[in-house]
Chains A and B, each alone.
Chain A
Amino acid sequence: MNAIAIIEYLIVGIMILSAVLAVEWRDLLAAAVGMAAVSLFASILFFMLQAPDVAMTEAAIGAALSAAVFIFAIKRTQRFETEEEEKPGWWVRW
């Protein structure tokens, strides 16, 4: 296994980790940061797979603009996912 393969495995691993964290975090601002991280690592992967056009578009749209749009939307709504106050029945939780 050469160095580039190791770096690629590392980037894919970090990307999967940030994707899992982006859906797991209850703080939506942190989730937006996780989404931007997924975009960033996807952009690096596109670059390593020799697709610079796609990498530039992914970096410009995914990491900068869509994160900004998500953050503006969070600013105008609420920042935390709310847990239900009283426990609903099993058919809701299911």
Chain B
Amino acid sequence: MLKRSLAILTLLIIGYWLAQGLAGVPFGQDRMLVGHYYLEHVKEQTGAVNAVTAIVVNYRGFDTLGEVTVLFIASTGVAALLWRKKKKRSAKTEGSVVLTTGTRLLVPFVILFGSYIFIHGHLTPGGGFPGGATIATGFLLLYMAFTTYEIPHRGFEKTEGIAGMSYVLVGLIGLGIGGYFLFDWIWQTWQLGTDNIGRLFSGGFIPIIYILIGIKVGTELSGIIDNMVKEEVSE
């Protein structure tokens, strides 16, 4: 009881301190310093209508590369931590008929919607990370409905690696053409799609990178689910 009340007291002090600090920041007012530049120049500089994805992929592309690396390390860490020579699904009860049939019907739609999210990253909210997570949710559905389902491992892990390397490759092509890493060569040098901003074939390399990130995140999270579900077989 003493421990708990002391913890609550400490949290209250920290919360009061944070609230004091935040009291000086007005909510909902224009406090943008760099934001105005992004909002005014996003269309002509990147070709994207969605300013968030333009910032995430184009202006601050290095952070996205770091995030993808973090996710890759997490996936590799889970795989290394749960590594066993022989692993099998341990589920014993098959899902009900309604569940399996519903999964059969739903999974194509879930994967289609995930692909829609990451292909239209430069036009609509979303992008590579939600799209890839949606695709992984489709595979999670398959894992939960069928006792024997397994993702095709060889293809999956190679796809993940190829998608990650292609992201770096796109950045390196930019380094060769424009002089710095992750330079938007499709938009700035080739001027591809400059006359149809707001349509699908615009946005420089944002759609390409988001397709790669979507595939990478989807396969990675599916791999994490696969590692979590399987258990060791005792021989």
Residues of B within 8 A of A56 (CB): 117, 125-126, 130
Find the A residue at minimum CB distance from B121: A53
- Indicate which residue in A52, A61, A64, A73 contacts B140 across the interface (CB closer than 8 Å): A64
Residues of B within 8 A of A94 (CB): 2-3
A87 at the interface (CB under 8 A from B): no
* Interface size, A (range): 10 to 19
Q: Determine whether the beta carbon of B117 is less than 8 Å from that of A65.
A: no
Contact A72/B130 with A60-B137, A64-B137 known, Cβ cut-off 8 Å? no
Interface residues in A14-66 (C-beta closer than 8 Å to B): 52-53, 55-57, 59-61, 64-65
Q: Determine whether the beta carbon of B229 is less than 8 Å from that of A53.
A: no
Q: How far is the CB of B59 from chain A (nearest CB, A)?
A: 15
Query: Which of B148-156, B177-185, B194-202, B220-228 lines the interface with chain A?
Result: B220-228
Residues of B within 8 A of A55 (CB): 125
Find the B residue at minimum CB distance from A54: B52
Interface residues in B97-154 (C-beta closer than 8 Å to A): 117, 125-127, 129-130, 133-134, 136-137, 140
Q: How far is the CB of B149 from chain A (nearest CB, A)?
A: 15
Bound together, the chains give a CA A60 to CA B225 distance in angstroms of 14
- Indicate which residue in B50, B129, B224 contacts A57 across the interface (CB closer than 8 Å): B129
Report, nearest first, the 5 A-B pairs whose CB atoms are least far apart: A52-B125, A60-B133, A72-B228, A56-B130, A53-B52
A-B contact pairs, 27 of them (CB 8 A): A52-B125, A53-B52, A53-B53, A53-B127, A53-B130, A55-B125, A56-B125, A56-B130, A60-B129, A60-B134, A60-B137, A61-B129, A64-B137, A65-B133, A65-B137, A65-B140, A65-B221, A65-B225, A68-B225, A69-B224, A69-B228, A72-B225, A72-B228, A72-B229, A73-B228, A76-B228, A94-B2
